[in-house]
Amino acid sequence: MKHLSAVLCAAALALPVVAAGQTASSPPSGTPVQEEVVGTIEDNDAKIAIPAFATNADVPTQTSAGSTGALGLAVSNVIYGDLKNNGLFKPVGPGSLPKPSLGQVQAPDYGTWQSRSADMLLQGYVRAEPGGNITVGCYLYDVSLGQRVASAGWTLPPSDWRRAAHKCADMVYSRLSGENPFFDSRIAFIAETGPKNRRMKQLAVMDSDGANLRYLTTGQTTALTPRFSPDYKQILYLSYFNGQPRIYIYDLATSTQRLLLQSKNPLFAPRWSPDGRWILYSMAIGGNTDVYKMPSSGGAGVKLTDSPGIDIGGSYSPDGSHIVFESDRSGSQQVYVMNSDGTGQKRISFFGGRSATPEWSPRGDQIAFTHIAGNFRIAVMDPSGGNMHYLTDSWQDEAPTWAPNGRVIQFFRTTRGSGKTGIWQVDLTGKNERKLDTPNDGSDPAWGPLRP
């Protein structure tokens, strides 16, 4: 009976115990409380309001925009155009926004902008200086935090007023995206006119938004594949005259050019080394094309590839240690990497179809190329050939080149049916394709470095 009672007592007491709360310890005083916040990468672009720039006095200027009042509006429109379709922002241009007064430029009325759901606000002013120069000041504000995040100003000759707007867009772009800026730069390309059987191809340069177009050759010879030198001062390009190929280096400061290489063999794809000391080119001898390298000051070429096929192109890695090129030695065009002395050649493209026109990013982390499997599409991969993904999806996109910040890629697109070519840009993430307006057709775009 004694045992029984004990058992019964134990049974009666064994009620289920429900925990009322999470057992969690508090860290001893001084140890930080830790939590985690996870988001997702979405297309949530920052909405930037860009009202017209104000001015202290509406006086005439020597700019192509007119008086300072009109110039203020023009500057904000150039900035709006740069940031639009750039992929990271949703700018609202001056046309649909109230115009702030000069005093508000440095002391914004945040309430107005909050009610318009702006995330960021870009305000500025323009001022005519006594000697004719123009000063542009530029201020970027975070509307929800209610504080200024960046500001800068530039004084430039009146003919360069667009550069001030590009530099302002660069300030916004680099501050918000973390990337190096690129709007204040020039693009070299081949301007094409005329019917298909008598096509005229001239070397031309323009601003990164298509303005200030200037032709460098007359069109009597066909110009192809231009490339800026690393110091921006020269353009390397291929010219055909009476079937004779020649590689020229054009000096932008003196507007003269010198002959680098002339051959009775076909020549292709001249490219600079990152230090500007070497030029890569491809030459076809008896149907066998190989990649060569020669000093940019002139001299004998060194043969780098030697396969019985077409080895062509050639783009240096930014540290100058490797070269990526295209070869059909496997039976179809594919992408290969080798050391800069020609040793260690190995294939890196195994995606099916054909892979052509590779270009190494100036950041070194990606190689852009044209992938051909039915359509021609721009794609990127890492330097070992992995993580390939497409950036475009049209009928015929080819010949990608990189902006100096390694984030935006340029290529040219041929429209199906009409055969018209145009220059396009796309962000490295594949978003935001944007056409560059050229007066006529354009091809072979190459981006120059940022202007100081």
Partner 1 sequence: MAETAPRLPLSQDEAAALGVALLAHVGLVAALVWYSPAALPPGGEGRMSVTISDESGLAASANSSSNDLPQDSGAQLGEVPPPPEPEPVELAKAELLPKPVPPVTRAVAAPVQRPVTRPPTAGRTATSSVPPKQQQGKQQGKCATAFDRAYGTCGKNSDGSNFAPGGGPKGGGNPNTGKGKDPATGAQKVAWQNSVAARVQGAWQRCPVSGLDLEKLRMVVPFNLDRQGRVISIGEPRVSGQTQSNRTQIAPFRACAEKAIRLGAPYLGLPPEYYDQWNSRELTFSKGRAQ
Min separation Cβ 411 and partner 1, Å: 18
Told to check if 82 binds partner 1 by CB under 8 A, we report no
Min separation Cβ 336 and partner 1, Å: 22
Q: 3-state class of 82 per DSSP?
A: helix
Told to check if 209 binds partner 1 by CB under 8 A, we report no
Q: Is 418 exposed, middle or buried (0-12, 13-18, 19+ CB in 10 A)?
A: exposed
- By DSSP bridging, strand 89-92 and strand 46-49 are parallel
The H or E element spanning position 402 is strand 396-402
Min separation Cβ 316 and partner 1, Å: 17
| Best CA proximity match to 79, nearest among 91, 70, 71 | 91
Looking at the DSSP bridge assignments, the partners of residue 245 are 240
| Residues of span 8-37 touching partner 1 by CB under 8 A | 8, 11-12, 17-37
| Closer by beta carbon to partner 1, 338 or else 380 | 380
* C-beta contacts of 106-115 below 8 A and 24+ residues apart: 106/139, 108/141, 110/141, 110/143, 110/146, 113/49, 113/141, 113/143, 114/143, 114/144
Told to check if 179 binds partner 1 by CB under 8 A, we report yes
Binding residues for partner 1, how many (CB under 8 A)? 54
Q: Which range, of 73-81, 325-333, 428-436, 441-449, touches partner 1 by CB under 8 A?
A: 428-436
Q: What is the per-residue binding string for partner 1 in 396-415, x denoting contact by CB under 8 A? A: -----------x--------
Residue from 10, 13, 38, 300 in contact with partner 1 (CB under 8 A):
38
Q: Which range, of 7-15, 67-75, 99-107, 196-204, touches partner 1 by CB under 8 A?
A: 7-15
Q: Positive or negative CA dihedral for 441, 447, 450, 452?
A: negative
Residue from 429, 434, 440, 451 in contact with partner 1 (CB under 8 A):
429
Task: Give CA–CA dist 81/78, Å, rounded.
Answer: 5
Q: 3-state class of 88 per DSSP?
A: coil
Query: Which residues sit at the interface with partner 1, rule CB under 8 A?
Result: 1, 4, 8, 11-12, 17-42, 44-46, 87-88, 142, 144-145, 149, 176-180, 363-366, 407, 427-429, 431
